[in-house]
Structure 1
C-alpha cells in the first residue's frame, strides 16, 4: 500500500465523478486539498473548494484513517455529518477515491488529478487502464467527466 501520509497531501482537482453536488452544474471547479495533521494515527485536514455564482466556497473537515478507510467529519454545523471513503488508486498525477453513502449523499467515485490541465487525457487514460486502477466498467458507468 502506498504511504498516504506522503502521497495524499496537496491539492487534487476533480475531473470525473458520480457525486450529484458536482454533476448538477451549479458548483464548478471542485478541488480537494489534503493537509497532513498527524501521521499516527493518520489524520488529514480536508478543504473542498468550488465556485458557485462566481464566488469561491469552502467545505472544511477532518479525515481520520481507520481500518483501511477514511472517516470524514465536517467542521462547524457540518460536524453532524460524516462519510466514509477510501483511496482505490493513487500515484503522482492521479487519485481515485470511492465513497460510501451517508445520511445526505449516495455512494460513488471521484477521479482527481494534481493539475487543472494534466499532461494526459484523464478519461481516455482511465478507460484504457481499468484493472491497473482498481476499477471496473460498471464502476465507470455513471461517472460524469467535468
Structure 2
C-alpha cells in the first residue's frame, strides 16, 4: 500500500511546475493538446489551498492556460476553476510518489466535465531516467493497479 502524503507533506512537495509524462485522460491523448504542465503555488498551509495553472500547447503552437484553486478536503483536493469554469469542480488526490518526491501519481475522480483518470507527473527540471520502468517496478508505491498501469499512455519526453 502506498504511503499517502499528508496535507503538510503536499504543501512542501507540490508547489512548482510538473510535466505530465503519462496519462489515460482523453484530453491529453489527442493531438489537439500537447505538452501538458501543472504549476502549483501555495496560497495557505492551514487549511491547505493551492492555486493551479494547467497549461498546454494547441495544434497552432499557442499556449493555453486553465486556472483554478485546489482546497484540501480530508484525503485529497477539490479543484474549482476560475472565470467561466468557476462552477466546475473536480476531486483529485496524490495516490503515490517516489522517495525524492519528484514523480507523483495523480488520481482524478469522474466529474460532470471529465472521466476518472490518472496522470504521472515529474517535476520540471528533474531528469528521471527510465521513468516508465520506475513506475512499472513500483506500481504499489504509486497507488496503481496492473490495470491502471496498462491503461497509461506515455507521452513524448519533455525537452
Tell me the TM-score normalised to structure 2 length: 0.87
Other-structure match for 1:31? 37
Separation (CA, whole Å) in 2 of partners of 1:60 and 1:17: 20
Separation (CA, whole Å) in 2 of partners of 1:85 and 1:119: 24
Other-structure match for 2:12? 6
Q: Decide which of 80, 85, 91 is 1:84's aligned counterpart.
A: 91
Is the CA contact (8 Å cut-off) linking 2:139 and 2:149 kept in structure 1? no
Give the C-alpha shift of residue 67 in structure 1: 1.2
**Unpaired segments ≥5 residues, structure 1:** none
Separation (CA, whole Å) in 1 of partners of 2:119 and 2:24: 7
Is the CA contact (8 Å cut-off) linking 1:13 and 1:116 kept in structure 2? no
More strand, by proportion: 1
Give the C-alpha shift of residue 117 in structure 1: 6.9
Which digits, 9 at most, give the CA deviation of each residue in 1:19-56, with x for residues without a partner?
11101121010000010001111000010010002111
Aligned: 1:141 with 2:126: no
Query: What SS does the corresponding residue of 1:12 show, helix, strand or coil?
Result: strand
Query: What SS does the corresponding residue of 2:151 show, helix, strand or coil?
Result: coil
Distance 1:93 1:136, change over 3 A: same
**Unpaired segments ≥5 residues, structure 2:** none
Give the C-alpha shift of residue 132 in structure 1: 2.1
Other-structure match for 1:118? 127
Aligned length: 146
Separation (CA, whole Å) in 2 of partners of 1:118 and 1:16: 15
Distance 1:63 1:83, change over 3 A: same
Other-structure match for 2:112? 103
Tell me the TM-score normalised to structure 1 length: 0.95
RMSD: 1.3
